[in-house]
Amino acid sequence: MAKRRKGARAARRAERPRPKRAGTARPRAAPGAALASLAHLAHLAHLAHLAHPREPEGPVWKHLWSVLALAFAARAFVALSGDFALHPDEIMQYLEQAHRLVFGNGIVHWEHFYGARPWLVPGLIAGVLAAFDAVGLDRPVWYVGGVELAFCALSLAVPAGMYFFARRHFDESAARVALVAGAFWYELVGFAHKPMTEFVATGLLVALLALCVRPDPARPGVVWPAALLAVLAAAVRMQYAPLALVLLGLIFLRAGGASGPGGAWWRGAWWRGARAQLAFAAALFFLAVGLFDGLTWGAEPFHSYLANLRFNLALEETRAGSSPAWQYLWWLLLATAGLGALCLAASLRDPRRYGLLLGLVVLALIVHSAEAHKEYRFVFVVVPLWLLIGADAAARLAARRRAWVFGAAGAAFAAVSLAGLLNALPRQDDAWRLIFAPEETPVRFVRGQDPLFAAYRYLAEAPGVLAVWHIDRHYHALPGYYYLHREIPLYDATTGAALVGADMPTVLASVSHLLSADPRLSAPGYAEERTFGDLRVLRRLENDAPVRRWREFTPTVTERSADRIMPLLYPDAPPPPADFGIRFAAPE
């Protein structure tokens, strides 16, 4: 009996927890301990409080959709009122490549020859072109405007995102002002239809910004879209990756202190938590982008991103000193007539309220100022950020019953925006210039556009167009097959001089139409058919005879710097073709 009691006492002692001894191994940390430590650091640094999200009071503004409809109408008006190209990349890297993918003819620029550009944006355009082709609207008169309107619709993510961000970050009054500002500011309206990566990525980042201030960041409806938007913004424009990472990190940090439906479910196993899902979703989309890029180029994942990055790093030394570090601040001052600088300066008075927006502006300027080559379009993402600060400042003025100050601010905004759209701001042209014409010229949004595009629209529809020689422009400064849309030879200044020459019998046998801005140009056997501003279109008088055809209508344009650097980076890179890859078909 005594032995039985001793055994029972020994069993109870064995069940008691033993005190830890110094020097013994620590228990293994829970799988989510590392993630929890990040949240603790964020709390100490008050990073997660920069968003200060809250549930908005009342329903969404009843005029939201009306304002967005007017915003689309303003963008469509600018897009359809005339053509201009802000940079050669707009045609050569995006529109022309999409046309080549869908219709088979297009000029191949060096990035697509060496595989140094992703197909995300051209692929999106190609989808729109394929849709127009499927319904029989496969002519420039239809699809050029259709692509522009598609990008106008996508650009509405900027004013919509500004509204939803401001109503949670500030209040409903600031949100309404931000919506109107994002809908009608001239830079957001004038470039909405452009397929440039800066403009596309800005819409993605503003949408991500709106998700950052959701009071329920742990919900799957926030986690997965946020991961997708962040990865896409970085994939479309690599220089915006730091901003996307900051916003995604903010959601990651806030997700640790929030719970979704049934809170205990989210606080259960770490692999089912919001943070783990966010990390998994971002990694999944990141891998998908890399695989897509590798498949489209038939190479390793992320091929075009790595090739472009390596090329620009090798080229950076030759660009040293091209612009001072403060260049973007000067352009911002000119392009906004001082309004942007005034809003950013005003935000310094309340850094806690505007810290998130101001920090993103500073980060964008630092990232791009570190690069030697600078263009104002590179920091386009700054535009909606300073507008958000200004919208809240204006709403606070109105709340303090300073109606006359609020009215003056609104009048100044409207006057500057309208003047910018009409190219009437002082020295505005120093910020926004076309790098497309033979000489850099100011951007003209609704009047005074380059007549070059009207001439190519005409050639796309005119009868008897068999071959075109643009005598005084090079391929990178032409609208290309995207506007011409004919399977015919298209010569520029270089290829025409090399393959057609000045021998008139060869010219007559090779070209049906000549284009030149030289008023002194005279060619025997040709007569002036139309004029578009200074641009003259000359047509062959006896135009019944055929012209020399090409085997393929995909001339390849490379640059000396690319031809020098890319073989060093990729020894297996193909050599650039002679004569731009133009080969004449055998006579029939």
pLDDT tens column, 527-584: 999 999 999 999 999 999 999 999 999 999 999 999 999 999 999 999 999 999 999 9
In a domain, 497, yes or no: yes
What CATH number did the domain enclosing 459 receive?
Answer: 3.40.190
Domain shared by 181 and 78, yes or no:
yes
In a domain, 514, yes or no: yes
Q: Does residue 10 register a pLDDT over 80?
A: no
Q: Does residue 43 register a pLDDT over 50?
A: no
In a domain, 210, yes or no: yes
Cα–Cα distances in angstroms (integers) from residue 578 to residues 143, 260, 475, 559, 574, in the given order? 33, 62, 16, 13, 12
Q: Does residue 45 register a pLDDT over 50?
A: no
Round to the nearest angstrom and report the end-to-end CA distance of the chain: 116
Q: What is the pLDDT of residue 318?
A: 59
Cα–Cα distances in angstroms (integers) from residue 560 to residues 14, 72, 265, 565, in the given order? 81, 42, 60, 9
Q: Which residue has the higher pLDDT, 42 or 16?
A: 16
Q: Does residue 525 register a pLDDT over 80?
A: yes
Q: Give the count of beta carbons closer than 10 Å to the beta carbon of residue 308.
A: 17
Domain shared by 351 and 470, yes or no:
no
Q: Does residue 50 register a pLDDT over 80?
A: no
Domain shared by 519 and 403, yes or no:
no
Looking at the 3D structure of the chain, how many domains does it have?
2
Domain shared by 330 and 416, yes or no:
yes
User: CA angle, corner 135, sides to 129 and 141, nearest 5?
Assistant: 60
Q: What is the pLDDT of residue 12?
A: 52
**Site of tokens 């002519």:** 139
Domain shared by 385 and 470, yes or no:
no
Which region among 74-88, 158-172, 259-273, 530-544 has the lowest average model confidence (pLDDT)?
Answer: 259-273
Q: Does residue 42 register a pLDDT over 50?
A: no
Whole-structure pTM value: 0.88
Domain shared by 251 and 335, yes or no:
yes
Domain shared by 234 and 366, yes or no:
yes
| Band of residue 400 on the pLDDT scale cut at 50, 70, 90 | confident
What pLDDT, in 10s, does the model give residues 279-333? 999 999 999 999 999 999 999 999 999 999 999 888 865 555 567 878 999 999 9
Q: What is the pLDDT of residue 40?
A: 45
| Band of residue 443 on the pLDDT scale cut at 50, 70, 90 | confident
Domain shared by 388 and 498, yes or no:
no
What pLDDT, in 10s, does the model give residues 84-106? 888 889 999 999 999 999 999 99
8 Å CB contact between 168 and 59 = no
In a domain, 343, yes or no: yes
**DSSP assignment letter at 428:** G
Domain shared by 346 and 398, yes or no:
yes
Residue 103's domain comprises: 64-256+271-307+325-421
On average, the pLDDT of the chain sits at 87
Q: Does residue 248 register a pLDDT over 60?
A: yes
Domain shared by 417 and 458, yes or no:
no
